[in-house]
Structure 1
Amino acid sequence: MMSSLKECSIQALPSLDEKTKTEEDLSVPWKVIVLNDPVNLMSYVVMVFRKVFGYNENKATKHMMEVHQLGKSVLWTGQREEAECYAYQLQRWRLQTILEKDD
């Protein structure tokens, strides 16, 4: 099952310079954004949102329609490490996903 944050793990320790930059990046919230694509069925996208985020049917459908109509939807906002994990999971389900700082 691909629905757990436990699937993500840190692979390497950052250098001192990277650590400083990372601490700055971690203090800013990050957005997980899914982009529209012509490949995946709407029902599939709803199912993925439910599995990855634990959304109920209505919330998952709302986000799917936003992606379909507006071209993208912000699915989650929070710490960078968790955002990267969510993005990774969505990409494993073959959904086009990007991360952006939440200014």
Structure 2
Amino acid sequence: MADHPANSSVARWRVVVHDDPVNLMPYVALALRRVLGCDETEARRHVRAVCEQGCAPVGVECRENAEAQVLALQRWHLTASMEPDETA
């Protein structure tokens, strides 16, 4: 999904999904599959991390892609945000 190489000087942003009391795990997994294009196993792994930790990163992108993914996840009524990725 990334448009830029990992060693690029372009700032990277983490897409973070937050746990909420409304959305059920299968729905969140479906939303992740549709928005992020991940497979069922990866979607379930992300959902498990969100449930266990309260929030979890589901991807790292350039700013524009991260913003688009956060908006798309929010349109699925998920609580999502983005934060700078400082691991590079």
Q: What is the TM-score when the length of structure 1 is the normalising length?
A: 0.73
Deviation at 1:45, TM superposition (A): 0.3
Matches of 1:67 and 1:56, distance apart in 2: 17
Partner amino acid, structure 2, of 1:83: A
Matches of 1:42 and 1:62, distance apart in 2: 11
Structure with more helix by fraction:
1
Identity of matched residues, %: 38
1:28 aligned residue:
11
Give the secondary-structure state (helix, strand or coil) at the position aligned to 1:78.
Answer: strand
Structure label with greater radius of gyration: 1
Aligned residues: 78
Matched, 1:63 2:46: yes
Where does 1:15-54 land on structure 2 (aligned, <5 Å)? 27-54=10-37
RMSD: 1.1
Q: 1:74 aligns with which of 54, 57, 62?
A: 57
Q: Higher RCO, 1 or 2 (CA under 8 Å, sep at least 6)?
A: 2
Structure 2: any 5+ residue segments left out of the alignment? Answer: 1-8
Structure 1: any 5+ residue segments left out of the alignment? Answer: 1-25
Give the secondary-structure state (helix, strand or coil) at the position aligned to 1:32.
Answer: strand
Partner amino acid, structure 1, of 2:26: S
Structure with more strand by fraction:
2
1:14 aligned residue:
none
Deviations 1:58-99 (A, max 9, x none): 100000000001011111101000000000000000101111
Matched, 1:88 2:79: no
Deviation at 1:27, TM superposition (A): 2.2
Q: What is the TM-score when the length of structure 2 is the normalising length?
A: 0.85
Deviates more, 1:26-35 or 1:83-92: 26-35
Any runs of at least 4 consecutive aligned residues in structure 1 with deviations exceeding 3 A, and if so which?
none
